Amino acid sequence: MKKNASKAPAGKTKQECPGALNPVRRAVAALLCALMILSLSSCWSRRELNTLAIVLATAVDEGKESGELKVTTQIVSPGEIKSGPSSSGSSASKKAYANIDNTDKSVISALDGFTHITNRKMYFSHNRILIFSREVAQKGILEDLDAFTRNYETRMNVYLLISKDKAADILDEEIELEQMPANHIAEMLEAQHSNSETAIITLLDFDIAFLSGSTAPVAPMIEMYEIDGKKKARLEGTAVFKQGKMIGELNVAQTRGLMWATGKAERATITIDTKDGKVDLLIIHAKGSMKPVKAEDGTFRIRLKVYAEGDIESNETGKDMSSVENTEMLQEQVEEFIRAEIESTLKHAKTLSADVFGFGEAIRRDYPKDWEKIKENWDSEFSGLKTDMEIDVKIASSGEMGKPVVQGGAE
């Protein structure tokens, strides 16, 4: 914007160029233009921090009348952040957040309707979780998701959750560790890697799963429970969708089976019932892959490979589980366990006729021409699909101890 006003155009002196202004005038003219441009163009998109309502979580419920949706947003109340984490139970201390809701015909009109209720503009860039209630999910959530995908403020790594009861109640969770339930739930989701019993789904994952014609998208489920008079939230189970509508659920064990099969399991704790007692194993790494195999008659079989590596976490049998035969026995039992979980998931998915694993996608990638033929009847194909499972478990160590501590064991 700064013009080098003192340099006359190359090769021209004042005599050749009669209309040229002298440098001071040019500088003044340039400055005036700059000031006008900047002041006229100024600050349309300016948002001061104290005019923003920072939304951390959004929940969508059914409204009182049919066809209406109630959108609840959890907004940070910055003034209360200064006081440290609220001590338990004191209702006199103000919360660091506020839940505001609005009811309207669709999600986007409800969001716009917030401007009638609050003095601040809703700011969605820090929205971390998106919760839909079960009723809304059963009616179909695709139209609602479109608004969130298209908007430039929202991000694709927002977590998707389905609540078993009312979604707005989840946002009222009372926890001592965090100041805001939204942060608590989002971080809880991120910590689910350690049990691999929850599918962690972002908006991007959901959309990708939906874009493929055959896969059934899934989303984790969350419910509220009460303990000592306090309401807390718990992640349990997975919701299965088909064509944007929720059609069924997977329980915890079935969810883990899904995780094993799709290779998303990371850490897990498995309890084996041996004839002498219980042994707990901690799986540290798990890998899974699925590969479609075409048989000679043109039908497909899916070969699932799961590899898991773990340690013995606790040994309640009193016997020495670190001996080689016992380790082998444990490995076999773990393999059986995993196989049973995956089969349970398969059976349930076939009942629901929902391809949660992504077998269709796998066939489409490797055998696109055959996929064209069978994709119309994928539902019936899926029910009859056979799988071969290869499960390989390795128990790497038995923790810090070899033999267990039993009475008289030192003698």
Partner 1 sequence: MSYIEKLLLRMKIQSEKAEEEDWDGEAEKDPQKLSKSLETNINAIKKEFEDCCDLVIREFSFGKEGCIKAALIFIDGLTNQPLINDNIVKPLMYDSRFFRSDETSGVSDIEELRDRLISVGDLKTDQTYHELSQACLSGDAVLLVEGFDKALDISAKGWEKRAVTEPVTEMVVRGPREGFIENLRTNTAMIRRKVKSPALKIRPVKIGDRTNTQVNIVYIEGIADPALIAEIERRLSNIDTDAILSAGNIEQYIEDSPNSPFQTVRYSEKPDTIAGKLMEGRAAILVDGTPFVLCVPMLFIENFQASEDYAVRTSYATSVRILRVCAFFISLFGPALYIALVTYHQELLPTTLLITMAASSEGLPFPAALETTIMLISFEILKEAGVRMPRPIGQAISIVGALVMGEAAVQAGLVGAPIVIVVALTAVSSFAVTFVSDAVSILKWLLVVLAATMGSYGITLGALAIVIHLASLRSFGADYLAPFAPFQQDDLKDTVIRAPLWAMRTRPRALHPQDLKRQSFEIPFDPTVAHKGGQGEKK
Partner 2 sequence: MKLEKGSISGRALIFAVFCFMQGTMLRSAFIVVVTKNDSWAMAFTGLLGSLLLTAIYAALLRRFQEKNLFEINELVFGPVVGKVFSVLYLFFFLSLAALNTHDIGDFVVGYMMQETPLAAIILLFVLICVYAVRKGIANIVRLSTVLCIIAMSAVLINTVLMLNEIQPGFIKPLFQLPLGKYVQGTITVAALPMGEVLAFTMIAPMLGKNKKAGKMMAYGLVLAAVFLGIVLLRDILVLGPMAGVFRLPSYESVRYVKLAGILTRMESLYAVVLIILYVFKVSILLYACVLGLAQLVNFKSYQPLTLICGALVFFYSLFVYKSVMEHADWGATVAPIFSLTFELVLPSAALVAVSIKKTIRLRET
Q: Which does 234 bind (CB under 5 to 8 A by kind): partner 2, partner 1, none?
A: none
**Chain centroid to CA 125: how far?**
16
CB of 26 to partner 1, least distance (A): 11
**Residue 50, contacted partner among partner 1, partner 2, none, CB below 5-8 A by kind:** partner 1
- The distance of closest approach from Cβ of residue 233 to partner 1 in the complex, given in angstroms and rounded to an integer, is 20
CB 51: neighbour CB atoms within 10 A?
A: 11
Q: Determine phi and psi for 343, rounding to 5 degrees.
A: -65, -35
Do residues 340 and 334 touch, judged by C-beta distance below 8 A?
no
Task: Pick the closest to residue 236 from 295, 274, 195 (CA basis).
Answer: 195
| Token pair listed for 182 | 């939204």
Comparison of 126 and 403: residue with beta carbon closer to partner 1 = 126
- Supply the minimum distance, in Å, between the C-beta of residue 214 and partner 2: 12
Structure tokens at 36: 């006008």
Specify the residue, 22 or 383, whose C-beta has the smaller distance to partner 1.
22
Q: How many Cβ atoms from other residues are within 10 Å of residue 198's Cβ?
A: 23
Closer CB to partner 2, residue 320 or residue 366?
366
Of 20 and 284, the one with the shorter C-beta distance to partner 2 is: 20
Partner from partner 2, partner 1, none binding residue 76, C-beta < 5-8 Å depending on class: partner 1
Q: Which does 362 bind (CB under 5 to 8 A by kind): partner 2, partner 1, none?
A: partner 2
Strand spans (E) along 40-163: 52-62, 69-76, 97-104, 121-123, 129-133, 159-163
* C-alpha span between 210 and 206 (Å, rounded): 6
Site residues, partner 2 (CB under 8 A): 1-4, 9-12, 37, 40-41, 44-45, 152, 155-157, 204, 207-208, 211-212, 361-362, 364-366, 368-369
Are 284 and 395 spatial neighbours (Cβ–Cβ below 8 Å)?
Answer: no
CB under 5 to 8 A by kind: which of partner 2, partner 1, none does 409 bind? Answer: none
Binding residues for partner 1, per CB under 8 A? 1-2, 4-6, 22, 38-39, 41-43, 45-50, 52, 54, 56, 76, 78-79, 81-82, 123, 125-126, 128, 153, 183
Binds 278: which of partner 2, partner 1, none (CB < 5-8 Å by kind): none
Structural contact between residues 199 and 238, judged by C-beta atoms closer than 8 angstroms: yes
Shortest Cβ 42–partner 1 spacing (Å)? 4
- Phi, psi of 352, rounded to the nearest 5 degrees: -75, -15
Residue 7 CB, shortest distance to partner 1, in Å, is 8
CB 254 to partner 1: min, Å: 34
Q: Name residue, tokens 């927002």.
A: 158
Q: CB under 5 to 8 A by kind: which of partner 1, partner 2, none does 82 bind?
A: partner 1
Sort 82 into a burial class: Cβ within 10 Å, 0-12 / 13-18 / 19+. exposed
